Structure 1
Amino acid sequence: MIANDARIRVDSEFAALRTVVVSRCEFRAPDSPAILGHQMPVEPEAVRVLEGTWGREFGAVFPERQRLWEDERDNLAEVLTRYGVRVLRPRLFTAAEKAAAGPHGYANFFVRDPWFTIGEHVIEGSLQFPHRRLEVLTSRSLLLDQVMPAPARYVSIPIPEVSGDGAAGPGPFLEGGDVLVLGKDLFVGESGMATDRTGTEWLAKYLRADGYTVTPVPLKSHVLHLDCAIGLVREGLMIVCPDRLPDGVPETLRDWERIDVSEEEAAAMATNGLPIDAETYITDPQFERVGHQLQARGITVEYVDFSVSRMFGGAFRCSTQPLGRFD
């Protein structure tokens, strides 16, 4: 018998959060920009960090920021625990895994992307950036412990092909930051930087028999993931950056109430908050304007400073991965 709070199932972005994995804080940049695997991020602070850490661990270059970064994730875990959420953490990389990463470097900092949960399906994805290709390994033992005893299915998308020039190479690519869950409706972002059409089609094929509909959502080319453009807060309410959606909001969501944010706010991760449930939302004090609009709609807002995490181009959704989210 599996305890109710340990059931593996995610029904939506805002169903009650029961079990969640909160990220670690490990990053070593590639040896040089030539092997990053993709274009540089557009966030100015992220560019400055990369320029100071080529071939080196972030914590060795910026020890005080490393400490603050770890505190941010611990503070988030404390807030979630206070609301009764069961919090799990990935392990750290082993010395052998760091060595295997070689000149590409490694990252263990945004657990949203290397795997994700849809309904009772836990899916290991496939990441474009070479320095993130091993990131799923730090969650593997956790997934084996939590998912294998459960009725949930556990699969992995085929690994991408190998490129000889240091670029990302052909896909398929499928990253959790691009996948938004709304019951049987799934929205999958495509910008060229992360999930590609082959990855979207694989997901649609895999889940079709279970009645899921997958809608591709085009993103502007500088936007890494869909959750950097849209955040579903509760049924009928979303935070959105229209400037990042060249084809507009997906048709299924066009009747929803919107809290619009600017390109500058979205680049700072204004859409990347985390609903604990449909009445409670976590965001950064940087986005107090958004928080006030949520509070005016009856939502309790918890503020957690996430300035270091946001510097890497992600925030609360990027830093968490639900295993249980259901009412």
Structure 2
Amino acid sequence: MSAATQKVRVDSEFARLRTVVVSQSEFHAPDNIELLGHRMPVEPNAVAILDAVWGKTFGEVYPDKQRAWEAERDELADVLRRHGVEVLRPRMFTADEKAAAGPVGYANFFVRDPWFTVGENVIEGVLQFPHRRHEVQTSRDLLLQRVMPAAAHYVSLPQPGIGNPGPGPFLEGGDILVLGTQVFVGLSGMASNALGYHWLAKFLQPQGFNVTPVRLPEHVLHLDCAMSLVREGLVIVCPDRLPDGLPAPVRDWEQIEVSEDEAAAMATNGLPIDSETYITDPQFERVGKQLQSRGITVEYIDFSVSRLFGGAFRCTTQPLLRIE
């Protein structure tokens, strides 16, 4: 392994992506909705689809959609490799891990949330949805191989208090946006909470980071479902999902606005490869054309199955190395 791949660091949402983890596509739904904790925010047309999966794996109910889901992630990995990005994949859950999940179920489908990288810090978070609490396990081998030998810090949040969901602390990677020493943390109450935000601020501030909370409406799962930092000075944003407006450090940036319906379908959940290249779904061609008019190359990948679960390209990836 080269010295470059031993390095672990994320400087911003749009710094050159060099090493990234791309999600697997495993989902076993809880036995019933009460075990979910609260309702997953998914596209309206996905409700009936996912309601048929209680107590089952997605693939046994929808084998064709399962194959398409896996193909979406494989295509994303291929596009990233074509752009020179090193792609890693989490392992699948073991039989023992699946059995231990019991009636709560398990998920191994959005690697953005169970852990995240800020500067030279890799942080294991704590997820609110019970069926996602053990999702970090499938990335643990990668973290031990890549982060432990590197100079980066490797830490984990305290264990959450008992309850469904309980007091936390909760902190999920979809709520964390990095812009140099500025770190934004989304707070809707559905994912990260105030206790998780205060833990992160306490950990990062001695390193020179400024950690800013960003209030979200209670139906919005994560901050990356409301805004996307495309490059310095340019943001895709859903104003309806930011009741206090954009955070102060980016308030004067040029904005490409999307509607509530577009945001619910994951229009803000694209992925910059660098400040000149952006991945999104052909569903959002309107946004893509606005990016192209500003000199940005747009790669389109059909992510319609992934979007059923309330996430897209950013949710499907977690960078280990993003530097200029």
* 1:261 equivalenced with 2:258 (yes/no): yes
Contact 2:126 2:169 in 1 (8 A): yes
| Deviation (angstroms), 1:2 | 5.2
* 1:52 equivalenced with 2:52 (yes/no): yes
Q: Measure, in 2, the Cα distance between the counterparts of 1:122 and 1:49.
A: 35
Report Cα offsets for 1:100-122 as digits up to 9, x if no partner.
11111100000000000000000
Coordinate RMSD, CA, aligned: 1.0
The within-5 A match list for 1:105-120 is 105-120=105-120
Contact 1:6 1:19 in 2 (8 A): no
Q: Measure, in 2, the Cα distance between the counterparts of 1:256 and 1:15.
A: 17
* 1:291 equivalenced with 2:295 (yes/no): no
> Paired residue for 1:18?
18
Contact 1:16 1:277 in 2 (8 A): yes
* 1:311 equivalenced with 2:308 (yes/no): yes
Contact 1:76 1:304 in 2 (8 A): yes
Contact 2:188 2:219 in 1 (8 A): yes
Report Cα offsets for 1:181-226 as digits up to 9, x if no partner.
0000000000010000000000000011100001000000000000
Contact 2:6 2:149 in 1 (8 A): no
* 1:91 equivalenced with 2:88 (yes/no): no
Contact 1:6 1:18 in 2 (8 A): no
> Paired residue for 1:162?
162
> Paired residue for 2:174?
177
**DSSP-derived class of the 1:100 partner:** helix
> Paired residue for 1:103?
103
Q: Measure, in 2, the Cα distance between the counterparts of 1:253 and 1:48.
A: 38
Q: Measure, in 2, the Cα distance between the counterparts of 1:144 and 1:64.
A: 34
Q: Measure, in 2, the Cα distance between the counterparts of 1:46 and 1:170.
A: 29
**DSSP-derived class of the 1:232 partner:** strand
**DSSP-derived class of the 2:291 partner:** helix
The within-5 A match list for 1:175-324 is 175-324=172-321
**DSSP-derived class of the 1:209 partner:** helix
| Deviation (angstroms), 1:170 | 1.1
Report Cα offsets for 1:202-251 as digits up to 9, x if no partner.
00000111000010000000000000000000000000000011111111
One-letter code of the match for 1:177? G
Structure 2 regions of 5+ residues with no counterpart? none
In the TM superposition, structure 1's runs of 4+ consecutive aligned residues that sit over 3 Å from their partners are: none
> Paired residue for 2:7?
7
Q: Measure, in 2, the Cα distance between the counterparts of 1:71 and 1:43.
A: 20
| Deviation (angstroms), 1:43 | 2.1
Q: Measure, in 2, the Cα distance between the counterparts of 1:148 and 1:48.
A: 43
Report Cα offsets for 1:260-287 as digits up to 9, x if no partner.
0000000000000000000000000000
| Number of positions where the alignment pairs a residue of Structure 1 with one of Structure 2 | 324
Q: Measure, in 1, the Cα distance between the counterparts of 2:83 and 2:196.
A: 35
Q: Measure, in 2, the Cα distance between the counterparts of 1:285 and 1:123.
A: 33
| Deviation (angstroms), 1:42 | 4.8
Q: Measure, in 2, the Cα distance between the counterparts of 1:148 and 1:68.
A: 35
One-letter code of the match for 1:28? H
Contact 1:220 1:246 in 2 (8 A): yes
The within-5 A match list for 1:29-68 is 29-68=29-68
Q: Measure, in 1, the Cα distance between the counterparts of 2:145 and 2:69.
A: 27
Q: What is the percentage of aligned positions where both structures have the same residue?
A: 71
> Paired residue for 2:139?
139
| Deviation (angstroms), 1:44 | 1.3
Identify which range, 306-315 or 5-14, moves more after superposition. 5-14
| Deviation (angstroms), 1:3 | 1.7
Structure 1 regions of 5+ residues with no counterpart? none
Q: Measure, in 2, the Cα distance between the counterparts of 1:20 and 1:136.
A: 15
> Paired residue for 1:74?
74
**DSSP-derived class of the 2:279 partner:** strand
Q: Measure, in 1, the Cα distance between the counterparts of 2:81 and 2:5.
A: 13
Query: Normalized against structure 1, the TM-score is what?
Result: 0.98
Q: Measure, in 1, the Cα distance between the counterparts of 2:160 and 2:5.
A: 35
Report Cα offsets for 1:104-152 as digits up to 9, x if no partner.
1100000000000000000000000000001000000110001111101
Identify which range, 70-79 or 99-108, moves more after superposition. 99-108
Identify which range, 30-39 or 172-181, moves more after superposition. 30-39
Report Cα offsets for 1:1-54 as digits up to 9, x if no partner.
952244100000000000000000000111001111113425213322321000
Counterparts in 2 of 1:114 and 1:63: CA distance versus 1, 3 Å:
same
Contact 2:288 2:298 in 1 (8 A): yes
Q: Measure, in 1, the Cα distance between the counterparts of 2:51 and 2:35.
A: 13
Identify which range, 245-254 or 9-18, moves more after superposition. 245-254
